[in-house]
A and B are shown apart, each in its own frame.
Chain A
Amino acid sequence: MVLTGAVLNSDTGHTRRRMLGAGLAALTLGGCGVLDDDPQPPSTPDPLQPLADEALALAAAYDRTAASLPALATRLTPLAQDHRAHAAELAQVTGRTPAASISAPASAAAAGGSATDPATAVAALRAAEQTAAKNAVTACATTTAERAGLVGSIAACRATHVEALR
């Protein structure tokens, strides 16, 4: 009986606190909307956001591989720089600041993880670039006329990376 009563009380308290918190959050959000002159970014992500995330994930994969296998650094660093240039350009086009950590594609994120053999590491990066190039081709086919050149160049660049890692 005592136990049941305590649990019930605690539950009720929790619910009240939650409701209070939700009310405060709603107030804060409302205030933001009223005071902010700039239009809020739409809640749906830009169609090119996955491409930007993938570019940063690939750059990070190159960095990790170069760090664990310094002999590959001169070969890999220019490729990582290409991907960072893509991310910067895409951020300009989409109007979003690049976020390195979010929703990185599994293939790009996994590549170059803990390989100790240079051949294996290069093969993993190459596979990731192949997937990334295909993704960019798909993005180019569906993007606007204004963006097609940039996305096409990114697709072509990723294809040259596959060649450069041969």
Chain B
Amino acid sequence: MNDQIAAALAAEEAAIYAYGVLGVKLAGKAEVDAARAAQLEHRERRDWLVTKIAESSAAPPAAPAGYRLPFPVVDRATAVQLAVKVEDGVAQAWRPVLGVTRDADRTTALAAMTDAAVRACRWRRLASITPLTMPFPGKAE
């Protein structure tokens, strides 16, 4: 198992946790549904990574017992901000995977990174953050 795959898995686990926290602070069905759908997609990506690690017959890294959020999620505004941060972080975790994968696996990694970037764009629009896009999603700032 390589470090890049492990880092992507850690980011996906953190995203699943974060959506659980922020989902309850969102307002309106559309936002709640979007958060639920996002969490489901992160679970699917997590499962794919776990399978890849199993295929390489490496032991999967243990998920941390808890997470410390970058800021307290107290209302809808901070919930959406956390969603933006989580998706940007997931995109950043997947980018290095592109360089250590080929063919179908690389395409899957790119889809995971792209989906995270697109969700970040959607949350930015909901939080009225401009610009909506960044030139190099996944590239650490």
User: Contact residues of A with B, CB < 8 Å?
Assistant: 78-79, 81-82, 85-86, 89, 137, 140-141, 145-146, 148-150, 152-157, 159-164
- In the complex, are the beta carbons of B122 and A159 less than 8 A apart? no
- A82-B133, A160-B133 are known contacts; what are 9 more A-B pairs with Cβ within 8 Å? A78-B131, A141-B106, A148-B98, A152-B95, A156-B91, A156-B114, A160-B117, A160-B134, A163-B122
Interface size on B, residues (CB 8 A): 29
Q: In the complex, how many residue pairs between chain A and chain B have their CB atoms under 8 Å apart?
A: 88
Taking CB atoms, residues of chain A closer than 8 Å to B91 are 156
Chain A nearest CB, measured from B103 CB (Å): 7
**What secondary structure prevails in chain B residues at the interface with A?**
helix
| Contact partner, A146, options B99, B103, B131, B135, Cβ 8 Å | B99
Given contacts A153-B137, A156-B91, A164-B132, contact A137 B96 (CB under 8 A): no
In the bound assembly, the distance between CA atoms of A159 and B113 in angstroms comes to 11
- Which A residue sits closest to B107, measured CB to CB? A141
B49 at the interface (CB under 8 A from A): no
In the bound assembly, the distance between CA atoms of A17 and B119 in angstroms comes to 64
User: Contact residues of B with A, CB < 8 Å?
Assistant: 91, 95-96, 98-100, 103, 106-107, 109-110, 113-114, 117-118, 120-122, 125, 130-139
Closest 3 CB pairs of A and B: A148-B98, A85-B135, A78-B131
- Which A residue sits closest to B120, measured CB to CB? A160
Given contacts A78-B131, A149-B95, A149-B98, contact A157 B137 (CB under 8 A): yes
| Contact partner, B100, options A79, A145, A154, A161, Cβ 8 Å | A145
- In the complex, are the beta carbons of A78 and B133 less than 8 A apart? yes
